């Protein structure tokens, strides 16, 4: 039987890259996609068979590289490096990377579901559409993130108090409430399965005070919203572990970190930069991060009784 994953924000670059990796591993992937209208839903043709073995993939690290630390807040693990590299030519500009990485192949194993994440009623429709396609979900990926940092969520800065409040509330809706809404709606489909029952949160370590890296320049709104998401993950972990659910909490490390490399003990990230093209490696970073995540999300962990924030070991640094 197919293993099935559902990804929030399927067309967001990390979501799309993760979807491709999961399909390559033999998974069927559905996901919320704000770019698809209801009458444009892809068919559910399942005629394409995968040659990949589902489950352990010797080419992908297990992603279980926990350090053995006990509690989530205070537990930050840096998984083993992926030694896979993209072989296709890299696009010259960051914008091109983002656009190309939004492309989703259409071969029946990747099904976008129309979803406007800001519309709660749309979630109910997305749940119905999903249930039309599959009997259950094995892996739910709550990817509320933004690939490209922007200027929202300012505080103690130039925004008026009103603008700052609105931005910060929007970030709470985006990073904390939308994932919770999705979890609530999709839970019955997870409950219906007898397999993996895994929930994976894509987050940012800026929300963690004890991760050892709380960047001083982190926007307050985004940092607060991610802290709320981490709390949400812990509460769901406390509840659903009792029913056999397992959890992953992952920072893709794609947003630039301004803190120095020495603060966390990580080796400096090696980014090969071509002259005049400082972002030329972004596509490969995205692919590496998604590849790592695909292994992390689908493989067993050393300790499913602890909730650990796993940070992409090749996180980007300025």
Burial class of residue 155 in the structure, from the number of CB atoms within 10 Å of its CB (0-12 exposed, 13-18 middle, 19+ buried): middle
- Residue 86, phi then psi, degrees to nearest 5: -70, 140
> At its nearest, how many Å lie between other proteins and the CB of residue 205?
12
The maximal CA–CA distance of the chain, rounded, in angstroms, is 56
Contact stretch for other proteins (CB under 8 A) within 6-14, 17-25, 29-37, 222-230: 222-230
Which residue of 120, 149, 278, 300 would you call a contact of other proteins, by CB under 8 A? 120
How many residues appear in the chain?
A: 318
Site string for other proteins, 73-92 (x = CB under 8 A): xx------------------
Given the complex with other proteins, which of 148 and 165 has the nearer CB atom?
A: 165
> At its nearest, how many Å lie between other proteins and the CB of residue 199?
10
- Residue 69 contacts other proteins per CB under 8 A: no
Cβ atoms of 266 and 313 closer than 8 Å: yes
Kindly state the tokens that stand for 192: 């219906």
Angle at 13 between CA 278 and CA 304, to 5 degrees: 110
Which residue of 36, 164, 290, 310 would you call a contact of other proteins, by CB under 8 A? 164
Which residue of 150, 162, 272, 276 would you call a contact of other proteins, by CB under 8 A? 162
- Residue 169 contacts other proteins per CB under 8 A: yes
- Residue 230 contacts other proteins per CB under 8 A: yes
Contact stretch for other proteins (CB under 8 A) within 17-25, 236-244, 254-262, 270-278: 236-244
Cβ atoms of 254 and 146 closer than 8 Å: no
- Residue 257 contacts other proteins per CB under 8 A: no
- Residue 116 contacts other proteins per CB under 8 A: no
- Residue 121 contacts other proteins per CB under 8 A: no
- Residue 119 contacts other proteins per CB under 8 A: no
Q: Is 276 left (phi over 0), alpha (psi -120 to 50) or beta?
A: left
184-213 binders of other proteins (CB under 8 A): 184, 187, 207-210
Which residue of 64, 130, 143, 232 would you call a contact of other proteins, by CB under 8 A? 232
Q: In the chain, which ranges are E strands?
A: 4-7, 28-33, 76-78, 110-114, 139-143, 198-202, 246-251, 309-311
- Residue 283 contacts other proteins per CB under 8 A: no
- Residue 226 contacts other proteins per CB under 8 A: yes
Alpha carbon distances (Å) from 302 to 57, 75, 194, 230, 299 = 16, 14, 21, 20, 10
Angle at 289 between CA 217 and CA 152, to 5 degrees: 30
Which residue of 29, 240, 279, 311 would you call a contact of other proteins, by CB under 8 A? 240
Nearest partner of 4 among 209, 193, 285, judged by Cα: 193
Given the complex with other proteins, which of 11 and 219 has the nearer CB atom?
A: 219
- Rounded to whole angstroms, the Cα distance separating 210 from 196 reads 29
Q: Coil, strand or helix: which one is 75?
A: coil
Given the complex with other proteins, which of 13 and 153 has the nearer CB atom?
A: 153
Residues of this chain that interact with other proteins (CB under 8 A) are: 71-74, 120, 155-156, 160-162, 164-165, 168-169, 172-173, 176-177, 180-181, 183-184, 187, 207-210, 214, 216, 218, 220, 223-232, 234-236, 238-240
């Amino acid at each position: 039987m197919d293993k099935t994953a559902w990804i929030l924000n399927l067309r967001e670059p990390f979501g799309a890259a993760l979807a491709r990796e999961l399909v390559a591993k033999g998974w069927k992937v559905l996901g919320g996609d704000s770019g698809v209208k209801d009458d444009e839903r892809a068919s559910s043709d399942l005629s394409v068979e995968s040659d990949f073995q589902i489950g352990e993939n010797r080419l992908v690290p297990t992603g279980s590289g926990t350090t053995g630390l006990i509690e989530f807040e205070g537990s930050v693990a840096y998984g083993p490096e992926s030694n896979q590299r993209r072989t296709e030519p890299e696009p010259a500009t960051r914008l091109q990377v983002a656009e190309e990485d939004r492309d989703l192949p259409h071969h029946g194993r990747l099904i976008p579901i129309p979803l406007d994440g800001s519309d709660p009623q749309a979630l109910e429709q997305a749940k119905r559409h999903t249930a039309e396609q599959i009997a259950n979900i094995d892996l739910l990926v709550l990817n509320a993130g933004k690939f490209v940092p922007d200027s929202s969520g300012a505080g103690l800065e130039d925004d008026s108090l009103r603008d700052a409040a609105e931005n910060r509330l929007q970030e709470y809706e985006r990073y904390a409430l939308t994932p919770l809404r999705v979890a609530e709606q999709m839970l019955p489909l997870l409950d219906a399965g007898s397999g993996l029952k895994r929930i994976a949160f894509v987050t940012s370590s800026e929300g963690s005070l004890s991760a050892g890296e709380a960047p001083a320049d982190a926007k307050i709104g985004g940092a607060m919203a991610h802290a709320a998401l981490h709390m949400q993950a812990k509460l769901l972990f406390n509840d659903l572990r009792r029913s056999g659910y397992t959890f992953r909490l992952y920072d893709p490390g794609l947003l630039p970190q301004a803190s120095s490399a020495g603060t966390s003990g990580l080796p400096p990230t090696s980014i090969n930069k071509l002259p005049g093209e400082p972002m030329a490696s972004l596509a490969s970073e995205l692919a590496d991060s998604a590849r790592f995540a695909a292994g992390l999300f689908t493989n067993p962990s050393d300790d499913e009784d602890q909730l650990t924030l796993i940070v992409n070991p090749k996180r980007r640094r300025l």
